[in-house]
Amino acid sequence: MLDEKLEPIYADVLRRNPGEEEFHQAVREVLDSLGAVIAKHPDYAEDALIERICEPERQIIFRVPWIDDKGRVQINRGFRVQFNSALGPYKGGIRFHPTVLLGTIKFLGFEQIFKNALTGMPIGGGKGGSDFDPKGRSEGEIMRFCQSFMTELARHLGEYTDVPAGDIGVGQREIGFMFGQYKRMTNRYESGVLTGKGLIWGGSRVRTEATGYGAVYFVDRMLKRRNQGLEGKKVLVSGAGNVAIYTIEKVRQLGGRVIACSDSDGYVVDDTGAGIDLELLKEIKEKQRGRVADYAAARGAGTTYVPGGRIWEVPADIAMPSATQNELNGQDARTLVKNGVVAVGEGANMPCTPDAVRVFLDAGVLFGPGKAANAGGVATSALEMQQNASRDSWTFEATEQRLATIMNGIHDRCAEMAEEYGAPGNYVLGANVAGFIRVAEAMRALGVV
Ligand code: GLU
């Protein structure tokens, strides 16, 4: 039930953003937590602070024309939603996926505001992307697409204005093509305009690993509060992209065993020895750009590949959904709880449906929401911006230490806020409230702008 003061705000969001279900879902989830805030601090309901947070500062939609390898003209749609700049320049990734619509980017941008606030770093929230499908495209096609995309986007960016990075479908290769085009257009080596860059051209150590590593630190800290640890735990990690791979790596470093991972075609169970063979998975995903089915075929005996199945049916202690939004529903959550899951950490953005989140919270499962648990990626982007601004390059150890400190800080802030607002152990409420208060305070200080 929504607080009665928040009901008309949500009704307005629905009316003014028709058909954007994912955006509605993301807003609803935050508003559900804000009832506790305005009950304690009614002033947060004044000055239309909540309404303002729900309205992007700027939304850019543009045509992206490019020529494929057969010489045919292709047209895609590009987006950049500059959602909130109260805390710093807009910051957030770019997603290339055929399902991307304006509502997708708005949900991601909205989440990003609170996530970025939670990191404690000076970054606002934004997100971008395109309905371009990189699957099956040659390197030349990807480059031409990235160049065309950046040709329009460049006029809206800048190290003090808006700083994109990667997301689904956009990794270091695509960031490189976009940075190259930006550099050519502006005739400036403005390193701080994009993050997720390669190490020798302005990138930061640990940025590649950061989202996965950070999510595992978060889960580990939740477990430690209950005097448990990752040691000996069986873990499911959905996905097989950047977040999943480095989640698997850190789980293993901390003594856990990842026994399954997946992609949109199916999942693989590898419950022998150390679990998923990380080196083989990296080779197939990062070098060959192959599929989980290729991993299963190469790994051979001892693995089971289940085409089209749901990874959440595999019994395990911990689940880390690290693929995409709404990939884990209420039924999946009930199956996980029945099989004895003790902790869930969202590596992806909004991977659990609201129904699933409710099931976990009601069952007393430790639940780390994406805006807190996966904030390590964007936090390390902010560290990359710091290094760019000071023309410095930090060691792996120093950077990872900063990441660990930031993740522990996020965890503790969420836990404290949950307690203060009457819902101890509820990290969803803690994350939403802590993120909201930081942004709302800054917005109030900056006046009606
Ligand atoms: N796309 C990532 C996220 O969802 C990282 C964004 C960034 O580094 O700017 O947080």
The pLDDT tens digits for 124-172 are 999 999 999 999 999 999 999 999 999 999 999 999 999 999 999 999 9
Catalytic residue among 91, 127, 233, 371: 127
Q: Give SS3 for 18.
A: coil
Distance 121 CA to ligand 1 centre (A): 13
The pLDDT tens digits for 405-416 are 999 999 999 999
Residue 413 to residue 408: CA distance in whole angstroms: 9
The pLDDT tens digits for 419-448 are 999 999 999 999 999 999 999 999 999 999
Residue 95 to residue 100: CA distance in whole angstroms: 8
The amino acid at residue 369 is P
Q: Which atom of ligand 1 is nearest to the CA of 375?
A: 10
**What's the average model confidence in pLDDT over 275-286?**
95
**73-84 β-sheet, strand order:** 58-67, 73-84, 125-130, 90-96, 162-165
CB neighbour class for 72 (10 Å; exposed up to 12, middle 13-18, buried from 19) = exposed
The pLDDT value given to residue 326:
98
**What's the average model confidence in pLDDT over 194-204?**
98
Closest-CA residue, ligand 1 atom 10, reads 378
DSSP state of 47: T
DSSP strand E in 242-340: where?
257-263, 266-270, 303-307, 318-321
The pLDDT value given to residue 300:
87
Distance 377 CA to ligand 1 centre (A): 6
The pLDDT value given to residue 304:
94
Residue 287 to residue 181: CA distance in whole angstroms: 24
Most ligand 1 atoms within 8 A of CB, residue of 211, 384, 403 to mutate: 211
Residue 313 to residue 336: CA distance in whole angstroms: 7
Kindly indicate the confidence band of residue 46, based on its pLDDT and cuts at 50, 70 and 90: confident
Distance 109 CA to ligand 1 centre (A): 10
Residue 97 to residue 77: CA distance in whole angstroms: 11
392 Rama class: left (phi>0) / alpha (psi -120 to 50) / beta:
beta
Judged against a pLDDT cut of 90, whether residue 45 lies above it is answered with: no
User: H-helix or E-strand containing 293?
Assistant: helix 292-299
Look at residues 260, 282, 286, 284 and name the one whose alpha carbon lies nearest to residue 271: 260
Distance 411 CA to ligand 1 centre (A): 18
Q: Give SS3 for 289.
A: coil
Residue 267 to residue 306: CA distance in whole angstroms: 5
Residue 236 to residue 274: CA distance in whole angstroms: 13
Domains of the chain with CATH codes? 56-188 (3.40.50.10860), 210-373 (3.40.50.720)
Residue 48 to residue 58: CA distance in whole angstroms: 18
Q: Which atom of ligand 1 is nearest to the CA of 163?
A: 9
Distance 220 CA to ligand 1 centre (A): 21
* Phi/psi at 431 (5° precision): -70, -45
The pLDDT tens digits for 68-103 are 999 999 999 999 999 999 999 999 999 999 999 999
Look at residues 358, 316, 345, 383 and name the one whose alpha carbon lies nearest to residue 165: 383
The pLDDT value given to residue 272:
83
CB atoms within 10 A of CB 193: 26
Evaluate whether 269 touches 314 at the Cβ level (below 8 Å). Answer: yes
Q: For the chain, give the percent of residues with pLDDT over 70.
A: 100
User: H-helix or E-strand containing 96?
Assistant: strand 90-96
The amino acid at residue 124 is G
Least confident of 78-92, 97-111, 262-276: 262-276
Distance 91 CA to ligand 1 centre (A): 8
Judged against a pLDDT cut of 90, whether residue 226 lies above it is answered with: yes
Most ligand 1 atoms within 8 A of CB, residue of 209, 213, 378 to mutate: 378
- pTM greater than 0.95: yes
Judged against a pLDDT cut of 90, whether residue 251 lies above it is answered with: yes
For residues 257-294, b (16+ Cβ closer than 10 Å) or e, as one string? bbbbbbbeebbbbbbeeebbbbeebeebbeeeebbbeb
Pocket of ligand 1 (CB under 6 A): 91-93, 165, 167, 195, 349, 377-378, 381
Residue 234 bears catalytic tag: no
Kindly indicate the confidence band of residue 261, based on its pLDDT and cuts at 50, 70 and 90: very high
Kindly indicate the confidence band of residue 369, based on its pLDDT and cuts at 50, 70 and 90: very high
**Neighbouring-strand partners of residue 73:** 67
Q: Which atom of ligand 1 is nearest to the CA of 374?
A: 10
Q: Which atom of ligand 1 is nearest to the CA of 95?
A: 1
Residue 281: both structure tokens together: 């998975």
- The mean of the pLDDT values for the chain is 97
**What's the average model confidence in pLDDT over 223-231?**
97
Closest-CA residue, ligand 1 atom 9, reads 92
**Neighbouring-strand partners of residue 91:** 163
The pLDDT value given to residue 199:
97
